[in-house]
Amino acid sequence: MKKLIFASVLLSSAAFANLHLAPPDFDSKFGRSVFVDFKQADYSVTYDIQNQVTTVKSKIIFEATKKGKPLFDLIPDVTEIKIDGREAIAHEISFPGGVSTLRQVNVEVLPGTHTLEVENTIDTNVIYNEDFETVSSAFWIRDLKDRMFLEQYIPSNFEFDQYKMTFNINFEGIDQADQEFYTNGKITKISPLSWKIEFPEYFTVSCPFYHLTPKGFMRRIDFNYRSISGRDIPVTVYSPWRKRTKKFAPEAARVLKELEADYGPWAHPGLVAYGTIKGTGGMEHSGATATSFGALDHEMLHSYFAKGVMPANGDSGWIDEAIASWRDKGYQRNPSTGFTGSNLGAHSPYKRNTDDRAYALGAAFMSYLDYRLQDRGGLKAFLRGYVQTYKHQVITTEHFKNNLEFFSGINFDSEFGTYIWGKNTKDTKHFHGANPNHPKLTKEFLRSLL
């Protein structure tokens, strides 16, 4: 029995050893930089209500497979950093080609398991209310802009990696925290001033949903939705207005029904949907979303494509926006893509955000694939099998193409070579512009959603 348990532990950690999906290691002016595999990240977030300061102490266990200086990311200033108990510095450096910025620890590590400890403060998307001794805070993310995942708040790895995250939330300077949490993690109250939120080990840096509000600030509805798997899915919809929340509840159930019929059982413990202001689009998390009413269906589709199977990098991000937009446009089938070519999936391997032409060009490409697969049940038949087979796994464009070819028996070298890994198309003027489901939002607006 012991042996069996040991084997399954090995298997489960091996399942998320995703270093083969990391971009290539590189040399910076500070030395050889190596991507590492986060195994576990514990984040202790303390809200000091009297002094209105939010601090994070993080402890990350990671594995290096090569000698070099470990890479991670964190936008706020680092107050303190230690590696294996020794004081260190985290330089801010550029990826090759200057496509993005990240952090490199100035200590060379050998292959093996190491501990990274980091302290920082959070100013982004946190508001203290002095009169009521409460705080509003959220870890909003975006995927169309660079460096907008969890690295805005806490030390994080890149999208290729999956690791167990735990948030230990503490309040100081008050006797009792009158707060409410909305999250896609498992929450446990530890004391009147502390809570623990555990996220599944398959989560990436763009999966957690975390929104802290003063108690009673939001109008919430909780109900169970009976999945086609027979499981009861706990659903929470909430917004500042009772009327808006009431509108979200039946729509969430309607979309769950549609998506389960098309793509199989919902692959998340539950669904949390925060209803935001009309016309402002939304952002997808894993079985969770902050979204306007009009984009709720689009964001829930992303719980299959984006957060059911998850992109490994910016060059794979086009897939989920293409599928979501193809659905938004009524699953069109078209014998031609209508454009001459694109490099949607052929930017730098270090690119972290999605090419925003994925909505238009990507959706047109999906319409074309659907045409080519019409004798094989259409593209939806492939997508259903794909998402159910690889759910909770990180995928790339190559992986998607290989499976599409295996399913269909059709070679798509030339189509992907032209439309995804090709040259920029000349006739895409009308394919530019923000998508209504993910418009560009200001920092002030994101803060106003607290």
205 binds Zn ion (CB under 5 A): no
Helix ranges (H only) for 73-112 are none
Nearest distance, CB of residue 226 and Zn ion, angstroms: 27
Interface mask toward Zn ion for 155-174; x: CB under 5 A: --------------------
If the CB atoms of residues 83 and 288 are measured against Zn ion, the closer one turns out to be: 288
Select the residue whose beta carbon is closest to Zn ion and give its number: 324
If the CB atoms of residues 318 and 368 are measured against Zn ion, the closer one turns out to be: 318
Q: Report the C-alpha gap between 118 and 126 in whole angstroms.
A: 20
If the CB atoms of residues 159 and 321 are measured against Zn ion, the closer one turns out to be: 321
- Neighbour-count burial of 55, counting CB atoms closer than 10 A to its CB (0-12 exposed, 13-18 middle, 19+ buried): middle
**Is beta strand 78-83 parallel, antiparallel or unpaired with respect to 112-121?**
antiparallel
Q: Report the C-alpha gap between 438 and 280 in whole angstroms.
A: 8
If the CB atoms of residues 114 and 298 are measured against Zn ion, the closer one turns out to be: 298
290 neighbors 271 (Cβ within 8 angstroms): no
Q: Report the C-alpha gap between 65 and 39 in whole angstroms.
A: 13
**409-448 residues near Zn ion, rule: CB under 5 A:** none
**21-50 residues near Zn ion, rule: CB under 5 A:** none
Nearest distance, CB of residue 406 and Zn ion, angstroms: 26
Q: Which token pair is 230?
A: 């027979």
If the CB atoms of residues 109 and 344 are measured against Zn ion, the closer one turns out to be: 344
Nearest distance, CB of residue 144 and Zn ion, angstroms: 9
* CB-side neighbour CA atoms (13 Å) of 256: 27
Interface mask toward Zn ion for 324-363; x: CB under 5 A: x---------------------------------------
If the CB atoms of residues 37 and 299 are measured against Zn ion, the closer one turns out to be: 299
Nearest distance, CB of residue 103 and Zn ion, angstroms: 28
Q: Which token pair is 208?
A: 């957690």
- Three-point CA angle 124, 126, 118, nearest 5°: 60
Helix ranges (H only) for 391-433 are 397-408, 413-419
Residue 3: phi and psi, rounded to 5, are -60, -40
Nearest distance, CB of residue 292 and Zn ion, angstroms: 13
If the CB atoms of residues 58 and 303 are measured against Zn ion, the closer one turns out to be: 303
Q: Report the C-alpha gap between 341 and 425 in whole angstroms.
A: 5
Nearest distance, CB of residue 301 and Zn ion, angstroms: 8
How big is the chain by its Cα radius of gyration, in Å? 22
If the CB atoms of residues 235 and 324 are measured against Zn ion, the closer one turns out to be: 324
Nearest distance, CB of residue 304 and Zn ion, angstroms: 12
Nearest distance, CB of residue 83 and Zn ion, angstroms: 37
161: number of Cβ within 10 Å = 26
Nearest distance, CB of residue 296 and Zn ion, angstroms: 12
If the CB atoms of residues 143 and 161 are measured against Zn ion, the closer one turns out to be: 143
Q: Report the C-alpha gap between 397 and 117 in whole angstroms.
A: 34
Give the largest Cα separation in the chain, rounded.
66
Interface mask toward Zn ion for 306-325; x: CB under 5 A: ---------------x--x-
388 neighbors 302 (Cβ within 8 angstroms): no
Nearest distance, CB of residue 354 and Zn ion, angstroms: 9
If the CB atoms of residues 211 and 298 are measured against Zn ion, the closer one turns out to be: 298
- Count of chain residues binding Zn ion (CB under 5 A): 2
The conformation of residue 305, written as its DSSP 8-state character, comes to B
Q: Which residues bind Zn ion (CB under 5 A)?
A: 321, 324
